[in-house]
Amino acid sequence: MVQQVRPAQLAQWLESVHPHGEPVVLDVREPHELQLASVKANGFSLQTIPMGVLPVRISELSSSQPVACLCHHGGRSMQVAHYLKSRGFEHVANIAGGINAWSAELDPTIARY
User: Has domain 3-49+64-105 been given CATH number 3.40.50.2300?
Assistant: no
Contacts with 13 (C-beta within 8 Å, 6 or more apart), sequence order = 3, 5, 68, 93
What positions carry a catalytic annotation?
71
What's the pLDDT score for residue 19? 84
Q: What are phi and psi of 41, to 5 degrees?
A: -65, 130
Residue spans of the domains in the chain: they are 3-49+64-105
What's the pLDDT score for residue 11? 93
Q: Which residues of the chain have pLDDT under 70?
A: none
Rounded Cα–Cα distance for residues 10 and 24 (Å): 11
The total of other beta-carbon atoms located within 10 Å of residue 57's CB is 11
What's the pLDDT score for residue 18? 83
